[in-house]
Amino acid sequence: MVAATPCAVVTGAATGIGRATALAFARDGYAVALVGRRAAPLEELAAELRESGGEAIASPADVASPEEVSAAIDAAVERFGGIDALVNNAGVGGSGPLLEEPLELWEETLSINLTGAFLATKLALPHLIERRGAVVNVASVNGVLAGPGWTSYCVSKAGLVMLAKCVANDYGRQGVRANSVCPGWVRTPMGDHDMDELGRAHGIDREGAYELAHRQNPLGRPAQPEEIADVIVFLASLRAAYITGAAIMVDGGSSAVDPTAS
């Protein structure tokens, strides 16, 4: 009997870490279901993966919508026969200090960053149990360390870390592993946008802002999306068969440094 091609579902797959993760899964022989709000870049990436000999489908969906997430999960199962890995990567960065953050912004951030992951995981879990699969949540160093004025963002990322721990605890005996990756700054469209804002505040350009943000980083630079993707795909694979409930810092060492010492 020929083994089925493993399938990975990646949310927020159109750009940045999600796109790099989809490419990395395809490189490792996975079929990939691409989920995100924008159809055009998803279709372009699916075509690119198919042209390179892989299998991929595009499933435009808002992860905050139970109906749309359900349709995306169903499409992956119908096309590829099951799900071996779910990567909850979809997210937004809008946030503010608590007294300045409107309820609407709090609810939007939590609905996309955290509730979206809850919905996707809940709907994918029966299929992951069937194939003894894995969940990887893309959290952030700000799921562990507070950032300045980023209330809902930090809270949502902390929730992703704990969501993975809960899934690991509750479903490990059924063969499912769940972990989080916690990136620092990454050169993505979202990271570039934030660096542009930082640069304007300090009268410097984007590259100067990245340098400023990494003065206390041991490696002295932001990550490339592919460097995060490689960790995600590792955690989803059987090479990480005894890793579950973990939050892996992928931040160039920033979280190892005491900022008060300098």
Least confident of 135-149, 152-166, 169-183, 184-198: 184-198
**pLDDT over 60 at 190, yes or no:** yes
**pLDDT over 60 at 137, yes or no:** yes
Instruction: Place 3 in a pLDDT band, splitting at 50, 70 and 90.
Output: low
The helix (run of H) or strand (run of E) holding residue 35 is strand 31-36
How far apart, in whole angstroms, are the C-alpha atoms of residue 71 and residue 172? 26
3-state secondary structure of 242: coil
Q: How much is the pLDDT for 203?
A: 94
Instruction: Place 257 in a pLDDT band, splitting at 50, 70 and 90.
Output: very high
Of the candidates 110, 114, 112, 113, the residue with the CA atom closest to the CA atom of residue 102: 110
**pLDDT over 60 at 198, yes or no:** yes
Where in the sequence numbering do the catalytic residues fall? 153
Instruction: Place 1 in a pLDDT band, splitting at 50, 70 and 90.
Output: very low
Q: How much is the pLDDT for 97?
A: 95
3-state DSSP percent of the chain in helix, strand and coil, to 5: 55, 15, 30
Report the predicted TM-score, pTM, of the whole model to 2 decimal places.
0.95
